[in-house]
Structure 1
Amino acid sequence: TLPFLLTLSRTAGEIIAGWEAQPHSRLYMAFLIIQRGNETFRCGGFLVAENFVLTAAHCNGDKIIVVLGAHNITQQEQSQQVIPVRRPYPHQDYDKEAPRNNDIMLLQLEHKAELNEQVGLILLPPAHQRVKPGTMCSVAGWGRTSALSEVLPDVLREVDLKVLDDQTCLKYPGGAYRNYNSRMMMCVGDPKEHKASFKGDSGGPLVCGKTAQGIVSGGPSNGHPPGVYTRVSTFIPWIQKTMRRLQP
């Protein structure tokens, strides 16, 4: 039973100007319930091995529960698999100052997920692969749908976003991204379109083709694009090494 799903107090990263996802069209999506002190909040994540979920390091907490196979998180759907996290592995060089460097974390699950028609893995890119600017990708999550509203959606929502060149973030007005690091970050979301990931979507994947190329990391508090995503391909050696070390 997950009654506490309904009382999540705050969020970390959300989909603005998106739409409801086709139920179970993203088999890899993970809904994370994170307890940090007295607070409970939500993040996204994605299943990259039967017993590992990838997410953002800023989604770390004292206790994390992963829900796989979910669409409506306020209902006890038959498809849901609720698995506690055995141990979180945030990147050793994670820097929580904005923009967050090395904002990536592996979650080792208490037991393996059962892969089926509602739960599956997503591919990771080859190490150091770059996504061409102009590429359309998509992001999904259970985060807020407006900077003006605290209301959180019950169902998974998604939006298509364009990958931009690094200069767009480096030269962002007001210098919000002056510390943007193109080696480990991606600049995503056309400033001309009011579409973005937002609070509650943190840790979810930016999917280009069938590959998780980015992780929702941060963006302006008003929800205006572009946002900054962790560049997954940079961390492939770290992901592989960490998972190999922990496999029984």
Structure 2
Amino acid sequence: MSLMMQLLILVLLPVALLLPPGSQAGEIIGGREAKPHSRPYMAYLKIQRKGKTYICGGFLVAENFVLTAAHCNGDEISVMLGAHNIREQEQSQQKISVCHRIPHPQYNKETTNNDIMLLQLAKRAKLNRWVDTIALPRASEKVEAGAMCSVAGWGGTSTDCELTPARLQEVDVVVMPDATCARNPNGPYRDYNTSTMMCVGDPKTGKDSWKGDSGGPLVCGKTAQGIVSWGPPTPPGVYTKVSTFIPWIWETMRRLQP
């Protein structure tokens, strides 16, 4: 396995969970179960790719659009909204298929730059107390280092055990200065790009909190400021900086609105 492949370990979590020991998919470690339906924007993505099933997170930004990571792309994607326990059929759940997958045109698989994708839903979600949108930042809005944010997902909760939780997990994480990721040009962060990425998670806390589910939102205040993207096995992790892509997001949604 090349070094590059080892670094891009926020790969999708195969539902079959045939991950080799030591490989990591996006996951929440050192967190807690979220209060049911306290994050009504959370989306659970099931991705079919070359006959295998993977999972990712995502978040509802309009009645018929979900934002996620471009590396969560596949041949077919279905979205579940309003879920807390994904192994139960909750009355709050809405399952909707995706009719358009729009990864960012400059997404780079090698460097994971521009790791963002819009999914247009085949029908509008019914907004209610279980399913709702989350606010996006203003274009180029900055999140200061030291800000406390949170990330949530249904990824695994331990690096030793490959079971994934049925219920949504969440963890609090701190935004680090770009320099924490960018200062070592030859290390695991050599593809870190300050204009499109955020460096999140204090290496001292012991919470491997960068491992939210790939594609899930980094929520600061009430705004989705980041998207779980990639990173080495210990924090900080790298998140797509949503504010950089606001013009592209709005333009793409406008273009596709019937």
TM-score, length-scaled by structure 1: 0.93
Is the counterpart of residue 84 in structure 1 residue 97 in structure 2? yes
Structure 2 residue aligned with 1:32, among 21, 26, 45?
A: 45
Structure 2 residue aligned with 1:230, among 220, 240, 249?
A: 240
Letter in 2 for 1:178: R
1:54-113 deviation per Cα after TM superposition (whole angstroms, max 9, x unaligned): 000000000100000000000000000000000100000101114x10000000000000
Seq. identity, %? 66
**Aligned CA distance change for structure 1 residues 172 and 70 (closer, same or farther; 3 Å):** farther
Q: What SS is found at the alignment partner of 1:212?
A: strand
Is the counterpart of residue 119 in structure 1 residue 131 in structure 2? yes
Q: What SS is found at the alignment partner of 2:175?
A: strand
Is the counterpart of residue 132 in structure 1 residue 108 in structure 2? no
Q: What SS is found at the alignment partner of 2:253?
A: helix
Q: What SS is found at the alignment partner of 2:67?
A: strand
Q: What SS is found at the alignment partner of 1:164?
A: coil
* Preserved contact between residue 200 and residue 210 of structure 2 (Cα < 8 Å): no
Q: 5 Å matches for 1:45-56?
A: 45-56=58-69
* Preserved contact between residue 218 and residue 227 of structure 2 (Cα < 8 Å): yes
Consecutive unaligned residues in structure 1, runs of 5 or more: 1-6
- Residue 161 of structure 2 corresponds to 149
CA RMSD of aligned residues (A): 1.4
Q: Which range moved further: 163-172 or 16-25?
A: 163-172
Cα distance in 2 between the residues matched to 1:21 and 1:169: 28
Consecutive unaligned residues in structure 2, runs of 5 or more: 1-13, 18-23
Cα distance in 1 between the residues matched to 2:210 and 2:74: 21
- Residue 8 of structure 1 corresponds to 15
Q: What SS is found at the alignment partner of 1:123?
A: coil
Cα distance in 1 between the residues matched to 2:39 and 2:54: 22
* Preserved contact between residue 210 and residue 238 of structure 2 (Cα < 8 Å): no
- Residue 245 of structure 1 corresponds to 255
- Residue 87 of structure 2 corresponds to 74
* Preserved contact between residue 70 and residue 115 of structure 2 (Cα < 8 Å): yes
1:182-221 deviation per Cα after TM superposition (whole angstroms, max 9, x unaligned): 00000000010122132x700000000000000000111x
- Residue 107 of structure 2 corresponds to 94
Cα distance in 2 between the residues matched to 1:242 and 1:62: 20
* Preserved contact between residue 12 and residue 59 of structure 1 (Cα < 8 Å): no
Shift of 1:174: 6.2
* Preserved contact between residue 198 and residue 240 of structure 2 (Cα < 8 Å): yes
Cα distance in 1 between the residues matched to 2:25 and 2:256: 27
- Residue 6 of structure 2 corresponds to none
Is the counterpart of residue 103 in structure 1 residue 115 in structure 2? yes
Shift of 1:13: 1.5
Q: Which range moved further: 9-18 or 180-189?
A: 9-18
Cα distance in 2 between the residues matched to 1:157 and 1:74: 14
Shift of 1:17: 0.2
- Residue 165 of structure 1 corresponds to 177
- Residue 178 of structure 1 corresponds to 190
- Residue 72 of structure 2 corresponds to 59
Shift of 1:171: 2.6
Equivalent pairs counted in the alignment come to 238
Q: 5 Å matches for 1:197-212?
A: 197-198=210-211, 201-212=213-224
Structure 1 residue aligned with 2:32, among 8, 19, 22?
A: 19
Cα distance in 2 between the residues matched to 1:172 and 1:83: 43
Shift of 1:148: 2.0
